[in-house]
Amino acid sequence: MRKGQNYNHPVLGQKIKVEPLKSMKDISSIKKLLADRPRDLAMFTIGINTNLRASDLLSLKVKQVRGLKPMEEISLTEKKTKKDRRINLNKTCIDAINQLLATRNYRDNDYLFHGQRGQMTVPYLNYLVKKWCADINLRGNYGSHTLRKTWGYIQRTHFGHSLPELMEVYGHATQKQTLAYLCIQPEEIKKIYANEI
């Protein structure tokens, strides 16, 4: 990195990889931080409990989620791939959504997550995720994509779901791509070398 270059603004043509949240303790700390902010808590909760991209998360409308029961299905068209997707929202998501909907009178066509100027933008969500992580003193590079990555990381490391399962859900072509995406591969290789024979 050149002197004076901002780490969060890559050189033209380069990308910065964001990390998943890797600890249930950190996830709990962020939820506690957002406990009195229903919009932010719902965004964070749905983001880490699904594999939605930030643009798809922010495009959710109230009519898609109002009155849902845990594990009921919603459908949407992904902005990036234009593919139709069906996802199920667990009880934690539904509870966060209901808490948010109770804060004001939402119309069916309202975006679930809005800012002062209407629909929330991905850059603003990126800013919020960075701020939440900084507020709990997490070191590393985090952003809006952290939410989607966290879902897969925790599914693999905490709940034991296999790489082929996660590869399928993410739509990746190879398991190696999924390992790299979830920032797991380097950690697993290091653990192999730590085994003493």
pLDDT at res. 79: 87
Angle at 130 between CA 16 and CA 99, to 5 degrees: 130
Q: What is the mean pLDDT of residues 72-88?
A: 88
In a domain, 114, yes or no: yes
Number of C-beta neighbours around residue 178 at 10 A: 23
Structural domain containing residue 58? 24-161
In a domain, 191, yes or no: no
pTM listed for this prediction? 0.85
- The rounded distance, in Å, linking the Cα atoms of 92 and 109 is 23
pLDDT at res. 10: 47
In a domain, 197, yes or no: no
In sequence order, the 6+-apart residues with CB closer than 8 A to the CB of 27 are 21, 48, 150, 154
In a domain, 6, yes or no: no
In a domain, 61, yes or no: yes
Domain harbouring 105, CATH code:
1.10.443.10
Of the pLDDT bands very low, low, confident and very high (cuts 50, 70, 90), residue 183 is confident
Total domains present in the chain: 1
In a domain, 15, yes or no: no
Classify residue 171 as exposed, middle or buried by CB count within 10 Å of its CB (0-12, 13-18, 19+).
Answer: middle
Residue 6 pLDDT more than 60?
no
Q: Please indicate whether residue 184 or residue 80 has the higher confidence score (pLDDT).
A: 80
The 10s digit of each residue's pLDDT in 18-51 is 999 999 999 999 999 999 999 999 999 999 999 9
Contact 166, 148 (CB under 8 A): no
pLDDT > 90 in the chain, percent: 61
Q: Please indicate whether residue 100 or residue 9 has the higher confidence score (pLDDT).
A: 100
- The rounded distance, in Å, linking the Cα atoms of 40 and 128 is 8
pLDDT at res. 1: 43
In a domain, 35, yes or no: yes
Residue 159 pLDDT more than 70?
yes
